[in-house]
Amino acid sequence: MSAASFSLICLPYAGSGAGFYRPWNALRSHGIQVVPLQLPGREELFLDEPYEDVAEAAKALAPKVVDLVGRQAPFSLFGHSLGAVLAYELAREVELLGGTRLSHLFVSGSPGPWDGRAERATGMDDDEFVRRIGEFAGYRHEAFDDPDLRELLLPLLRTDVAMHENYKPVSDEPLSVPVTSLRGADDVLVSREQAHGWSASTTGRFTYREVPGSHMYLVDSPQSVLDAVSAELSGTEAELSGTESGTSDTLAG
């Protein structure tokens, strides 16, 4: 089936919101409908209490996803870093609901769900926390150089980071939906081996793809994400890469 028939539900990474993904719909070279999923505590939901637990977030979000896409339309899930584990648990909840056409799970910039990050930022003072997050992400957002913006953004970022660092999978039972793990080729936070850890998360097809860039490659090259998604959803993996599932395929950004 053509990728043009699919909606791609996108989960935010720590500290971000649906607004990060909204410009992606201007890049419809493959006709993918990007559907950003907003979380409480950010942007238009700024006054709502943010989630503090990945599993609870997934339970709350699953019915909203069904409302967004319906039970007849095929859709896929995409998440980067914190968004990856949110998308994974959300996929489980959607499978439990049944009657939906979840076709694929795309996880990006994340070790497998059983391999949490060894280094932590939770509990550090503000300056050290911002410095550590910059190390994790591979870049420093300019908003943290503005004292007023920093004071506004830090509480949500701290909550998201703690939620991510405290995450434990709900179940060891694998999903049935195909899973693709994406990773920036120069990512020093998540290794190739760690990104391959997602292979145990599904009884369906697993593929691993590298794209140019570091951990936050999708900030500079969202097109690389859509290229990878389109290739998987269009069933052209073998034609594009000439490789078997689980092998590396580097895409141009």
pLDDT at residue 110 is higher than 90: yes
What is the CB-side half-sphere exposure of residue 192 using CA atoms within 13 A? 11
Tell me which residue of 117, 149, 152 sits closest to 136, measured CA to CA: 117
**8 Å CB contact between 8 and 33:** yes
Residue 172 lies in a domain: yes
- The boundaries of the domain holding residue 33 are 3-241
Residue 43 sits in a domain whose CATH number is 3.40.50.1820
Tell me which residue of 165, 169, 177 sits closest to 77, measured CA to CA: 177
pLDDT at residue 251 is higher than 50: no
The average pLDDT across 113-125 equals 74
The C-alpha atoms of residue 187 and residue 114 are separated, in whole angstroms, by: 19
| Structure confidence at residue 5 as a pLDDT band (50, 70, 90) | low
Residue 90 lies in a domain: yes
| Structure confidence at residue 122 as a pLDDT band (50, 70, 90) | confident
Active site annotation includes 230: no
| pLDDT attached to residue 139 | 57
| pLDDT attached to residue 237 | 38
Quickly list DSSP for 16-69.
--GGGTGGGGGGGGG--EEEE---TTSGGGTTSPPP--HHHHHHHHHHHHHHHH
Residue 209 lies in a domain: yes
| pLDDT attached to residue 31 | 76
The catalytic position among 81, 108, 110, 181 is: 81
| Structure confidence at residue 247 as a pLDDT band (50, 70, 90) | very low
Q: Which of 132-141, 178-187, 197-206, 241-250 is predicted with the least confidence, judged by mean pLDDT? A: 241-250
| pLDDT attached to residue 85 | 97
Residue 251 lies in a domain: no
| pLDDT attached to residue 177 | 94
The average pLDDT across 94-117 equals 88
Residue 224 lies in a domain: yes
Residue 83 lies in a domain: yes
| pLDDT attached to residue 242 | 38
| pLDDT attached to residue 179 | 97
Residue 123 lies in a domain: yes
pLDDT at residue 90 is higher than 60: yes
The C-alpha atoms of residue 229 and residue 231 are separated, in whole angstroms, by: 5
| Structure confidence at residue 77 as a pLDDT band (50, 70, 90) | very high
The average pLDDT across 126-149 equals 71
| pLDDT attached to residue 157 | 87
The pLDDT tens digits for 201-229 are 999 999 999 999 999 999 989 999 999 99
Is 198 strand, coil or helix?
A: helix
Residue 249 lies in a domain: no
pLDDT at residue 152 is higher than 60: yes
Higher pLDDT, 93 or 252: 93
Rg over alpha carbons for the chain, rounded to the nearest Å, is: 17
Total domains, the chain: 1
pLDDT at residue 199 is higher than 70: yes
